[in-house]
Amino acid sequence: MTHIVCPHCNAVNRIPADKPAAQGKCGRCHQPLFDGHPTSTSVAGFDAQIGKSDIPVVVDFWAEWCGPCKAMAPYFEQVAHELEPNYRFLKVDTEAEPELAARYNIRSIPTLMVFRKGEMIAQQAGAMDSNSLRSWIKQVAG
Ligand SMILES: [Zn+2]
């Protein structure tokens, strides 16, 4: 069983290993567990994904005024589409969620972090293209 947190209602779903998670629907809200896009998240969603998910979670800390963040957004989108459902991709707007930016001491954006089972296992500041992003994620999270 793999624990997958619903990006819509934050419910924890148990997906049997032999079931394709990509087609899974949430047992509580019945929405798809994966839709091929990064999920914009608030503190509650972030904490649920980080703390209760069995798959690695890749987070993009960004802001509307940040040029490099906007330049990287389509690459992040593309890699999310490719690597789901083996990873969860989140976007945190640091202006809307200053608590999360403060918690992780984010000093420059974009900053990318990878979490596994509640622990941050990698961190990288600066924009990446899709090739760099893909290989970095696979290198740090398998
Ligand atoms: Zn749900």
Whole-model pTM: value is 0.96
With a cut of 50, which residues of the chain have pLDDT below it? none
* pLDDT in the model for residue 130: 97
105: left (phi over 0), alpha (psi -120 to 50) or beta: left
* pLDDT in the model for residue 24: 93
Give the C-alpha separation, 57 to 114, whole Å. Answer: 6
* pLDDT in the model for residue 68: 97
Expressed in angstroms and rounded, the spacing between residue 91 Cα and the centre of ligand 1 is 18
Expressed in angstroms and rounded, the spacing between residue 67 Cα and the centre of ligand 1 is 33
* pLDDT in the model for residue 110: 98
Expressed in angstroms and rounded, the spacing between residue 33 Cα and the centre of ligand 1 is 7
* pLDDT in the model for residue 20: 84
For CA atoms 97, 109, 134, 75, the dihedral sign is positive
Expressed in angstroms and rounded, the spacing between residue 12 Cα and the centre of ligand 1 is 8
Q: Which residues are catalytic?
A: 66, 69
Which residues neighbour ligand 1 (ion) by CB within 5 Å? 6, 8-9, 11, 26, 28-29
Query: 61, 101 in Cβ contact below 8 A?
Result: yes
Which runs of consecutive H residues, i.e. helices, occur in the chain? Answer: 43-52, 67-83, 98-103, 130-141
Q: Would you tell me the crossing angle of helices 130-141 and 67-83 to the nearest 10 degrees?
A: 60
